[in-house]
Structure 1
């Protein structure tokens, strides 16, 4: 069971999307787990074949519990389709083995349901209920004679927890409260802010978008994320994790971007390898992430991988924000709205579009001097957006 946030202690395995013997590749979605954040798609991080499923659907287990075994590609042949497992494997049942002819009996025997296929046997009541509830009978484990599917098997299958659409706002709020309370209780926050002229960034966006269709245009958020990703390599003490005993910098930069969820709540899933993405690809990833998160759809790596977080409330008219660090991260960067303000240019005062960037940081991992340099570097990069 992957850890999908500092506040997560357990999760419920609600659906297997792969079965024993299935070939899998890095990045494939293999299961769905349910947490306070909603239904999360669990990705796999190596190539191979599914061995055994160790946790049955509908089971809640602590973080760190093995969910399945994976047979690596060092094997010449894939594993058998149904290896032994300590819990029932939730896969279509195998066809019953042919039985030897029995001698004639004078006892009256109940009539048997003739199977429609060699691999599927189900009673008429089971078929009717499956049709009523839109259930594929091949997914139902039969408990009748010879593995035949009975009405009770279909009823049990339909009552199992499934991949839930969306999230429970009350659960999400409790999860946020737990994480933020822990953050303010345990992390010695300090805050810095820096204001800069955003004229160059706005001009660049206008020129870039003028000749492009709406689907290919950039938003300011893409520039902010890109500038932050390019600044962080020189300030590694702001990109990583503090486990209570010490700070561990992350070589990779996976920027989490805070997104409001419909119905209430907030999530900050990661845009992985942010610094390696050119602006068009970064914008594509951001659009996809925003659409899925607002529907309550997440992937496990997006919640477990962020190394630093950006929160932007400029579209809500907020001048500056003092964000709370999401543990075990050690920094969060906030961007406010762009507002016309008096600005000194060549010894004269002019109206300029001004943006304020803030830093909330963990004093156990870094300090204000370096934090000020980080904010200054982000602002410098945004003065030359054509180089982003």
Structure 2
């Protein structure tokens, strides 16, 4: 048996609100199924399960805000034997009893045993908030009927028993909250300040001739309807993924005092949420996707980022980030590394500039400013320069992507 925990969707997330369960105890799930919807400062995220199994218990109520890493459900994985119908929390009952009723739940629900005449009573399943409020009201849990999954006691059950002095809306009546723009800005600022404070950034920049690249892309799209055309953004992501195979030192995470390279290449794309901030969903296995498929996925992820419906794997898997303000006419963007990643690439707007050709002539060429911010604990300027040089060569041979 294992536990599903509140996932982290970025360094700027400390807690999330479970606004909807998509499963119930006894349901079978397979890897990739959506089991819950988590509200964060960046909107509602669909939480996936990453293993096959059977849901044994839901350990938090809809509407509960819990810290990252807190168990929220238990699951009997394929091949694992379960000895009890519902899993108990790893945190002791005493720890739950000392928690403040207004604090974020520090654990999954625990089930208490109260000895009577040397024999234990039946186990009682209750959420942390329900148990804490019952203690506050001095109510005996054994005399209350639970309305939650598997008969679990919820906060609403305790309030109802106490006389409904502080009623809460049932889960079905809750309205999904929108993005708190102020909180989102604060979270982004805190994460970026932490990044600049703890990560020794170094910055490199290079100007790349894109004339042949854009000519190739135009010819490729000429006979295609608009919805099937490949945009320059997808080409940049594909080229980034391709060169990271040759520079794996910039693809991965800095954790526990050391670099952990990633075998997969998941390119995060910084997407603006209008009037709010940024989200960085990942295009998974970008190096393995054909260019057309990558373009289709980019459109899909961009739409869901702005409308809601991003998946937890997309929000937590990025191994490097790409950011671009080219559509705003900005010639260069110098990014801040999004921890625990170790690098971020910035692409500016293509613009026409005088360019010295190989034969010494001067022509008007379309060029792009590309920047790299990288973590000096993991790499140095020599390696970063190699990445930019490889990226330039790759972009000038787009037919190989």
Q: What residue is the counterpart of 2:376 in the other structure?
A: 363
Is 1:208 matched with 2:213?
no
What is the aligned length? 332
SS at match of 1:352: strand
Distance in 2 (CA, whole Å) between partners of 1:241 and 1:336 is 25
Q: Does the CA contact (< 8 Å) of 1:4 and 1:304 recur in 2? A: yes
Where does residue 276 of structure 1 map in the other structure?
A: 288
Q: What is residue 56 of structure 1 aligned with on the other side? A: 61
1:35: Cα distance to partner? 2.0
- Pair 1:69 & 2:74 matched: yes
Root mean square deviation of aligned Cα: 2.9
CA distance in structure 1 between the partners assigned to 2:246 and 2:353 by the alignment:
31
Q: Does 1:40 align with 2:52?
A: no
Structure 1 residues 1-388: aligned runs within 5 Å: 1-74=6-79, 86=110, 87-88=125-126, 156-157=169-170, 161-164=174-177, 166-243=178-255, 245-345=257-357, 346-388=359-401
Counterparts of 2:171 and 2:69, CA distance in 1: 28
CA drift of 1:177 comes to 0.4
Distance 2:239 2:400 in 1: 10
Residue deviations 1:65-106, cap 9 Å, x none? 1111112222699x97x88974459xxxxxxxxxxxxxxxxx
Where 1:288 maps in the other structure, the secondary structure is helix
The 3 A distance-change label for structure 1 pair 185 and 83 is closer
Question: 1:117 aligns to what?
Answer: none
SS at match of 1:319: coil
Q: Deviation at 1:235? A: 0.9
- 2:63, 2:171 within 8 Å by CA — same for their partners in 1? no
TM-score normalised according to structure 2 size = 0.77
Q: Deviations over 1:315-338 (max 9, x none)?
A: 111111111111111100000011
* 2:70 match: secondary structure: coil
1:167 Cα deviation after fit: 1.5
CA separation in 2, counterparts of 1:217 and 1:372? 31
Unaligned runs of 5+ in 1: 90-140, 144-150
Structure 2 CA distance, aligned partners of 1:47 and 1:201? Answer: 44
Tell me what 2:139 maps to: none
Gaps of 5+ in 2: 1-5, 89-108, 111-124, 128-153, 158-163
Q: 1:23, 1:50 within 8 Å by CA — same for their partners in 2?
A: yes
Aligned partner of residue 39 in structure 1, secondary structure: strand
What per-residue deviation string (whole Å, max 9, x for no partner) do you get for residues 265-304 of structure 1? 0111111111110101101110011001112442211121
**Separation in structure 2 between the aligned mates of residue 53 and residue 67 of structure 1, nearest angstrom:** 6
1:56 CA drift (Å): 1.4
Tell me how far apart the structure 1 counterparts of residues 230 and 172 of structure 2 sit (CA, whole Å). 45
Of structures 1 and 2, the larger Rg is shown by 1
CA distance in 2, matches of 1:323, 1:83: 44
- SS at the partner of 2:66? strand
